[in-house]
């Protein structure tokens, strides 16, 4: 069997918020198609790590390389907390359609294919009745489902889920994990979580992020005490 090809390599990466060190000396290689669980205490740097991978932050030290593609691949992102101004006059369908921009890497008018993919994502996440609703009209769970739909329509090579089940009811949680399980095997999925349940996300590997990154044995995760901190996350 061929060795998995590395999608991303972080070498000596660090990040600071002013004088506050969020991450230091991070070496991490993630393979194409890998399912990676990212665990750690509050403020340990988990969200900072994925924002670096998504290009939302630039490292203070070190280098991030993309050996497989030569550049950052098409990505989908479900943040723990919405980055949208809830008062901005944006409808659900319009927000989900934004997910197609990352795949095209340039602004063009939506195509028929774009709209078909958006319609399918809205249906899969039970959002069709809300397609014309403004974000300010949504509950927390409805907004989270819309963010999931936006990430999926990007047809991402890299999908980042940051505590994706927050605000979701049980039926929506099940639907989310069914959608993740149905993604192509080539899609790399990073899950930031405090609670790794084998019946939901089948991680192939797990790492602990607490300023630095270290590998974890999957069979020992239930014994790991994740203490809360108060640093930037």
Domain 1-73+157-224, CATH number (from 1.10.645.10, 3.40.50.300, 1.10.8.60, 3.55.40.20): 3.40.50.300
Q: What does pTM read for this prediction?
A: 0.86
The reported pLDDT for the residue numbered 123 is 94
Identify the helix (H) or strand (E) that includes residue 198: none
Q: Where are the domains of the chain?
A: 1-73+157-224, 90-156
Helix count (H) and strand count (E) of the chain?
6, 9
The reported pLDDT for the residue numbered 221 is 65
Q: Does residue 189 carry a pLDDT above 90?
A: yes
Confidence of residue 232 (pLDDT cuts 50, 70, 90): very low
Q: How far is CA 88 from each of CA 56, 92, 93, 135, rounded to the nearest angstrom?
A: 21, 12, 14, 8
The reported pLDDT for the residue numbered 167 is 79
Of the ranges 149-153, 163-167, 176-180, the best mean pLDDT one: 149-153
Confidence of residue 41 (pLDDT cuts 50, 70, 90): confident
């Amino acid at each position: 069997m061929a060795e998995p090809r590395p999608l991303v390599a972080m070498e000596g990466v660090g990040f600071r918020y002013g004088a506050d060190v969020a991450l230091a000396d991070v070496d991490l290689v993630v393979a194409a198609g890998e399912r990676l669980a990212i665990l750690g205490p509050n403020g340990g740097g988990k969200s900072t790590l994925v924002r670096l991978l998504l290009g939302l932050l630039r490292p203070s030290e070190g280098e991030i390389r993309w050996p497989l593609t030569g550049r950052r691949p098409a990505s989908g992102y479900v943040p723990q907390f919405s980055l949208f101004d809830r008062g901005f006059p944006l409808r659900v369908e319009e927000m989900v359609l934004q997910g197609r921009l990352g795949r095209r890497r340039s602004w063009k008018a939506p195509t028929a294919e774009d709209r078909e993919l958006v319609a399918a994502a809205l249906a899969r996440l039970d959002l069709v009745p809300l397609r014309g609703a403004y974000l300010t009209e949504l509950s927390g769970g409805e907004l989270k489902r819309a963010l999931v739909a936006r990430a999926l329509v990007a047809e991402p090579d890299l999908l980042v889920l940051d505590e994706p089940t927050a605000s979701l009811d049980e039926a929506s949680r099940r639907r989310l994990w069914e959608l993740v399980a149905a993604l192509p095997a080539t899609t790399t999925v990073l899950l930031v979580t405090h609670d790794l349940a084998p019946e939901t996300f089948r991680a192939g590997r797990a790492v602990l992020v607490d300023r630095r990154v270290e590998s974890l044995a999957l069979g020992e995760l239930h014994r790991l005490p994740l203490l809360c901190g108060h640093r930037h996350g």
